[in-house]
Amino acid sequence: MSKGTVVLAYSGGLDTSCILVWLKEQGYDVIAFLANIGQDEDFDSARKKAENLGAKKVFIEDLRSEFVEHFILPAVQANAVYEDRYLLGTALARPCIARRLVQIAQKEQAEFISHGATGKGNDQIRFELTSYALYSDVKVIAPWRIPEFYNRFKGRKDLMEYAQCSAPTDLYLMTKNPDEAPNVPDVLEIEFKNGVPIKVTNVKAGSSKDKPLEMFMYLNEIGGKHGVGRIDIVENRFIGMKSRGIYETPGGTILLQAHLDIETFTMDKEVRRIKQGLGIKFSELVYNGFWYSPECDFLLHCINKSQENVEGKVQLSVYKGQVYILGRESPKSLYNEDLVSMDKQGDYDPCDASGFIRVNAVRYVRIKSQTSKTT
Amino acid sequence: MSKGTVVLAYSGGLDTSCILVWLKEQGYDVIAFLANIGQDEDFDSARKKAENLGAKKVFIEDLRSEFVEHFILPAVQANAVYEDRYLLGTALARPCIARRLVQIAQKEQAEFISHGATGKGNDQIRFELTSYALYSDVKVIAPWRIPEFYNRFKGRKDLMEYAQCSAPTDLYLMTKNPDEAPNVPDVLEIEFKNGVPIKVTNVKAGSSKDKPLEMFMYLNEIGGKHGVGRIDIVENRFIGMKSRGIYETPGGTILLQAHLDIETFTMDKEVRRIKQGLGIKFSELVYNGFWYSPECDFLLHCINKSQENVEGKVQLSVYKGQVYILGRESPKSLYNEDLVSMDKQGDYDPCDASGFIRVNAVRYVRIKSQTSKTT
Amino acid sequence: MSKGTVVLAYSGGLDTSCILVWLKEQGYDVIAFLANIGQDEDFDSARKKAENLGAKKVFIEDLRSEFVEHFILPAVQANAVYEDRYLLGTALARPCIARRLVQIAQKEQAEFISHGATGKGNDQIRFELTSYALYSDVKVIAPWRIPEFYNRFKGRKDLMEYAQCSAPTDLYLMTKNPDEAPNVPDVLEIEFKNGVPIKVTNVKAGSSKDKPLEMFMYLNEIGGKHGVGRIDIVENRFIGMKSRGIYETPGGTILLQAHLDIETFTMDKEVRRIKQGLGIKFSELVYNGFWYSPECDFLLHCINKSQENVEGKVQLSVYKGQVYILGRESPKSLYNEDLVSMDKQGDYDPCDASGFIRVNAVRYVRIKSQTSKTT
Amino acid sequence: MSKGTVVLAYSGGLDTSCILVWLKEQGYDVIAFLANIGQDEDFDSARKKAENLGAKKVFIEDLRSEFVEHFILPAVQANAVYEDRYLLGTALARPCIARRLVQIAQKEQAEFISHGATGKGNDQIRFELTSYALYSDVKVIAPWRIPEFYNRFKGRKDLMEYAQCSAPTDLYLMTKNPDEAPNVPDVLEIEFKNGVPIKVTNVKAGSSKDKPLEMFMYLNEIGGKHGVGRIDIVENRFIGMKSRGIYETPGGTILLQAHLDIETFTMDKEVRRIKQGLGIKFSELVYNGFWYSPECDFLLHCINKSQENVEGKVQLSVYKGQVYILGRESPKSLYNEDLVSMDKQGDYDPCDASGFIRVNAVRYVRIKSQTSKTT
Per residue in A344-367, pLDDT tens? 666 788 889 999 999 999 988 754
Model pLDDT for residues B46-77, shown as the tens digit of each residue: 999 999 999 999 999 999 999 999 999 999 99
A152, part of any domain? yes
Residue type, C285: L
- Chain mean pLDDT for chain C: 92
| pLDDT of B165 above 80 | no
| pLDDT of A164 above 50 | no
Model pLDDT for residues A239-267, shown as the tens digit of each residue: 999 999 999 999 999 999 999 999 999 99
Neighbours of chain B (3+ CB pairs under 8 A): A, C, D
Q: Which residues of C touch A (CB under 8 A)?
A: 234, 239-241, 244, 268, 270-271, 273-275, 277-278, 281, 290, 293-295, 298-299, 301-302, 305-306, 359-363, 374
Of all residues in chain C, the one with the smallest CA distance to B184 is C179
Contacts with C171 from chain B: Cβ below 8 Å: none
Confidence of residue C350 (pLDDT cuts 50, 70, 90): confident
Q: Using alpha carbons, select from D12, D6, D9 the residue that is nearest to residue D24.
A: D6
Of B338, B365, B372, the CB nearest to A347: B365
Model pLDDT for residues A166-195, shown as the tens digit of each residue: 334 456 888 999 889 999 999 999 999 999
Position B338 scores a pLDDT of 67
Mean pLDDT in residue range C292-309: 98
Model pLDDT for residues A258-296, shown as the tens digit of each residue: 999 999 999 999 999 999 999 999 999 999 999 999 999
HEC secondary structure over A226-292: CCCCEEEEEEECCCCCEEEEEEECHHHHHHHHHHHHHHHHHCCHHHHHHHHHHHHHHHHHHHHCCCC
Model pLDDT for residues B313-333, shown as the tens digit of each residue: 999 999 999 999 999 999 988
Element (H, E) at C340: helix C337-340
| Euclidean distance between CA atoms C18 and B364, whole angstroms | 32
D349, part of any domain? no
In terms of domains, do A317 and A188 share one? yes
Model pLDDT for residues D127-159, shown as the tens digit of each residue: 999 999 999 999 999 999 999 998 888 766 554
Asked if residues D126 and D98 have their Cβ atoms less than 8 Å apart, the reply is yes
D272, part of any domain? no
Q: Which neighbouring-strand residues pair with C230?
A: C248
Neighbours of chain D (3+ CB pairs under 8 A): A, B, C
User: Collapsing DSSP states into helix, strand and coil, what is residue B335?
Assistant: coil
Neighbours of chain A (3+ CB pairs under 8 A): B, C, D
C359:D356 CB<8 A: yes
Mean pLDDT in residue range C6-13: 95
C374:A302 CB<8 A: no
Position B369 scores a pLDDT of 46
Residue type, A221: E
What ipTM was predicted for this assembly? 0.93
B355:A359 CB<8 A: yes
Position B170 scores a pLDDT of 57
- Chain mean pLDDT for chain B: 92
Mean pLDDT in residue range C17-28: 96
Asked if residues D188 and D201 have their Cβ atoms less than 8 Å apart, the reply is yes
D97, part of any domain? yes
In terms of domains, do A11 and A155 share one? yes
In terms of domains, do C322 and C185 share one? yes
In terms of domains, do C283 and C156 share one? no
A351:D241 CB<8 A: no
Contacts with C234 from chain A: Cβ below 8 Å: 374
In terms of domains, do D160 and D47 share one? yes
- Which one of D298, D357, D367 would you mutate to disrupt binding with B, by most B Cβ within 10 Å of its Cβ? D298
Position C195 scores a pLDDT of 98
Tell me whether strands D230-236 and D208-209 are parallel, antiparallel or unpaired: unpaired
Q: What CATH number is attached to the domain comprising D106? A: 3.40.50.620
Quick one: how far is CA A62 from the chain centroid? Answer: 18
Nearest CA of chain A to the CA of B94: how many Å? Answer: 23
Position A172 scores a pLDDT of 82
Mean pLDDT in residue range B155-176: 60
| Euclidean distance between CA atoms A120 and D343, whole angstroms | 11
| pLDDT of D163 above 80 | no
Position A329 scores a pLDDT of 95
| pLDDT of A94 above 80 | yes
Position B346 scores a pLDDT of 61
Confidence of residue B173 (pLDDT cuts 50, 70, 90): confident
Mean pLDDT in residue range B213-232: 97
Model pLDDT for residues A297-343, shown as the tens digit of each residue: 999 999 999 999 999 999 999 999 999 999 999 998 887 766 666 55
Mean pLDDT in residue range B8-31: 95
In terms of domains, do C45 and C100 share one? yes
B270:D293 CB<8 A: yes
DSSP per residue over A30-57, as a string? EEEEEEESS----HHHHHHHHHHTT-SE
Residue B217 CB contacts under 8 Å (≥ 6 apart), including other chains: B38, B251
D148, part of any domain? yes
How crowded is residue D25: how many other Cβ atoms within 10 Å of its Cβ?
9
- For chain B, the 3-state helix, strand and coil shares in percent, each to the nearest 5, are 45, 20, 30
- Which one of D272, D374, D375 would you mutate to disrupt binding with C, by most C Cβ within 10 Å of its Cβ? D374
Rg (CA), chain C: 25
Q: What CATH number is attached to the domain comprising B245? A: 3.90.1260.10
How crowded is residue A156: how many other Cβ atoms within 10 Å of its Cβ?
12
Model pLDDT for residues C103-128, shown as the tens digit of each residue: 999 999 999 999 999 999 999 999 99
Domain ends where: B166, B188, B216?
Answer: B166
Contacts with B231 from chain C: Cβ below 8 Å: 325
In terms of domains, do A15 and A161 share one? yes
Confidence of residue C91 (pLDDT cuts 50, 70, 90): very high
User: Collapsing DSSP states into helix, strand and coil, what is residue D178?
Assistant: helix
What range does the domain containing B86 cover?
Answer: 5-166
Asked if residues B187 and B202 have their Cβ atoms less than 8 Å apart, the reply is yes
A230:D339 CB<8 A: no
In terms of domains, do B16 and B160 share one? yes
How crowded is residue B177: how many other Cβ atoms within 10 Å of its Cβ?
11
A242:D236 CB<8 A: no
Confidence of residue C156 (pLDDT cuts 50, 70, 90): low
- Which one of D364, D365, D366, D368 would you mutate to disrupt binding with A, by most A Cβ within 10 Å of its Cβ? D364
Position C343 scores a pLDDT of 57
Model pLDDT for residues D67-112, shown as the tens digit of each residue: 999 999 999 999 999 999 999 999 999 999 999 999 999 999 999 9
Of A327-336, C249-258, C285-294, C359-368, give the lowest mean pLDDT range.
C359-368
In terms of domains, do B48 and B123 share one? yes
In terms of domains, do B191 and B55 share one? no
Confidence of residue C368 (pLDDT cuts 50, 70, 90): very low
Asked if residues B97 and B35 have their Cβ atoms less than 8 Å apart, the reply is yes
Mean pLDDT in residue range D188-198: 98
Residue type, A215: M
Enumerate the H helices of chain A as residue ranges: 14-25, 43-52, 64-67, 73-78, 89-107, 123-134, 147-165, 212-225, 250-266, 269-288, 294-306, 337-340, 351-360
Q: Using alpha carbons, select from C44, C111, C42, C100 the residue that is nearest to residue C67.
A: C100
Residue A1, classified by CB atoms within 10 Å of its CB into exposed (0-12), middle (13-18) or buried (19+), is exposed
Q: Which residues of A touch B (CB under 8 A)?
A: 265, 268-270, 315, 326-331, 333-339, 347-349, 351-356, 358-360, 362-363, 365-367, 371-375
| pLDDT of D338 above 90 | no
Of A10-24, B199-213, D159-173, D336-350, give the lowest mean pLDDT range.
D159-173
Q: Using alpha carbons, select from A224, A45, A237, A240 the residue that is nearest to residue A122.
A: A237
Position A179 scores a pLDDT of 87
C329:D373 CB<8 A: yes
Q: Between these two residues, D167 and B287, which has the higher pLDDT value? A: B287
How many structural domains compose chain C? 2
Q: Using alpha carbons, select from C213, C191, C256 the residue that is nearest to residue C70.
A: C213
C300, part of any domain? yes
Confidence of residue D368 (pLDDT cuts 50, 70, 90): very low
- Which one of B191, B271, B281, B367 would you mutate to disrupt binding with A, by most A Cβ within 10 Å of its Cβ? B367
C295:A268 CB<8 A: yes
Q: Between these two residues, D4 and A1, which has the higher pLDDT value? A: D4
Of all residues in chain D, the one with the smallest CA distance to B236 is D363
Nearest CA of chain C to the CA of B105: how many Å? Answer: 19
Question: How many inter-chain contacts (A to B, CB under 8 Å) are there?
Answer: 118
In terms of domains, do D29 and D139 share one? yes
Mean pLDDT in residue range D15-23: 94
Mean pLDDT in residue range B349-371: 81
Mean pLDDT in residue range A101-124: 97
Mean pLDDT in residue range A99-116: 98
Position D263 scores a pLDDT of 98
| Euclidean distance between CA atoms C111 and C29, whole angstroms | 11
B322:C321 CB<8 A: yes
The region, left, alpha or beta by phi > 0 then psi within -120 to 50, assigned to residue C54 is left
C342, part of any domain? no
- Which one of A138, A295, A309, A352 would you mutate to disrupt binding with C, by most C Cβ within 10 Å of its Cβ? A295
Model pLDDT for residues B337-349, shown as the tens digit of each residue: 666 665 565 678 8
Q: Which neighbouring-strand residues pair with D242?
A: D236
Of A326, A353, A372, the CB nearest to B329: A372
Domain ends where: A112, A133, A166?
Answer: A166
Residue type, A54: G
Domain ends where: B166, B197, B220?
Answer: B166
In terms of domains, do C106 and C188 share one? no
Confidence of residue C369 (pLDDT cuts 50, 70, 90): very low
Confidence of residue A147 (pLDDT cuts 50, 70, 90): very high
D190, part of any domain? yes
